[in-house]
């Protein structure tokens, strides 16, 4: 599908990247795994993934970090025994942009492969 978020390219964060409106966010939320939630007044996109043990959590954090480097758009990551939390926002505009949803969709796609 050509409008599949996970196939789009995450362009580097420039100041001109528009913050998405509430309806644009709602539309894109519907294209992500249901585990993604909005946080901090809708300025962050957060997914907590439960896994078995510490090594799997560390591995998932590493995958999220790798994705951030690939895309030039970097998540905040928190992990511990049995879980990994990945959070996206676009710092430069203090809100959610298309980049956050593209990265979230790519993260979903990687997880679906495992």
Restricting to residues 17-56, name those near ligand H2B by CB under 6 A: none
CA gyration radius for the chain? 13
**Measured CA angle at 5 (ends 62, 51), to 5 deg:** 35
Stretch that binds ligand H2B, among 28-36, 41-49, 52-60, 87-95 (CB under 6 A): 87-95
Q: How far is the CB of 1 from ligand H2B (least distance, A)?
A: 25
Q: Which of 38, 77, 92, 111 binds ligand H2B (CB under 6 A)?
A: 92
Tell me which stretch binds ligand H2B (CB under 6 A): 1-9, 20-28, 88-96, 106-114.
88-96
State how far the Cα of 18 lies from the Cα of 21, in Å rounded to an integer: 9
**Distance from the first to the final alpha carbon of the chain:** 22
């Amino acid at each position: 599908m050509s409008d599949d978020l996970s196939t789009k390219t995450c362009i580097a964060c420039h100041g001109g990247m528009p913050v998405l409106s509430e309806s644009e966010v709602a539309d894109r939320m519907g294209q992500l795994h249901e585990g993604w939630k909005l946080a901090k007044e809708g300025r962050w996109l957060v997914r907590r993934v439960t896994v078995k043990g510490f090594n799997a959590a560390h591995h998932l954090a590493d995958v999220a970090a790798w994705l951030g480097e690939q895309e030039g758009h970097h998540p905040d990551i928190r992990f511990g025994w049995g879980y990994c939390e990945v959070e996206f926002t676009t710092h430069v505009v203090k809100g959610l942009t298309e980049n956050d949803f593209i990265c979230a969709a790519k993260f979903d796609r990687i997880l679906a492969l495992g």
